[in-house]
Structure formats: structure tokens, C-alpha cells
């Protein structure tokens, strides 16, 4: 994620990529997708990531 990206735009781009991967036979579960999203967030959103991880509510 680039620092100028909006979270919504980034999530949309990530969903499009995972859809393409699934069409090509890749199996991606929601937990893996969420982990990728949280790991790749820019430092600007670090406090949001920590709050989500600490709550352990990844839904």
C-alpha cells in the first residue's frame, strides 16, 4: 500500500487481485486475505491495524 492510497481503494484492488487468482485456481481463504491486508497497510494506519489485531475480531 502506498502512503497516498485510501483504504477503500486498496481493499478494492486487493479484492480484484484475489478474484483473478481464484479464477486461475488459487485457493485463498478469508483469514489469509485479512492477514495480507493488515500486513500491507501503510504506517499511517498502524494504529487501526493494532486496534483490530488487539480486539481479535477479524470479522
pLDDT in tens, 1-41: 555 667 788 788 888 988 998 899 988 888 888 788 878 87
E-strand ranges in 1-59 read none
Which bin fits 41, alpha (ψ -120 to 50), beta or left (φ > 0)? beta
Per-residue pLDDT at 4: 61
Q: Which of 48, 51, 52, 58 minimizes the C-alpha distance to 1?
A: 48
Q: Which carries the bigger pLDDT value, residue 1 or residue 47?
A: 47
- CA–CA dist 10, 1 (Å, integer): 7
Q: pTM (2 decimals)?
A: 0.58
Task: Specify the long-range contacts of residues 22-31, CB closer than 8 Å, at least 24 apart.
Answer: 31/58
Please list, in sequence order, all residues whose beta carbon lies within 8 angstroms of the beta carbon of residue 45, skipping any fewer than 6 positions away.
Answer: 7
Predicted pLDDT of residue 20: 92
Amino acid at each position: 500500500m502506498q502512503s497516498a492510497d485510501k483504504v477503500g481503494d486498496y481493499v478494492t484492488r486487493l479484492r480484484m487481485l484475489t478474484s483473478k487468482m481464484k479464477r486461475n485456481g488459487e485457493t485463498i481463504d478469508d483469514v489469509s486475505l485479512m492477514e495480507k491486508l493488515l500486513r500491507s497497510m501503510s504506517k499511517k494506519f498502524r494504529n487501526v491495524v493494532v486496534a483490530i489485531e488487539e480486539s481479535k475480531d477479524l470479522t
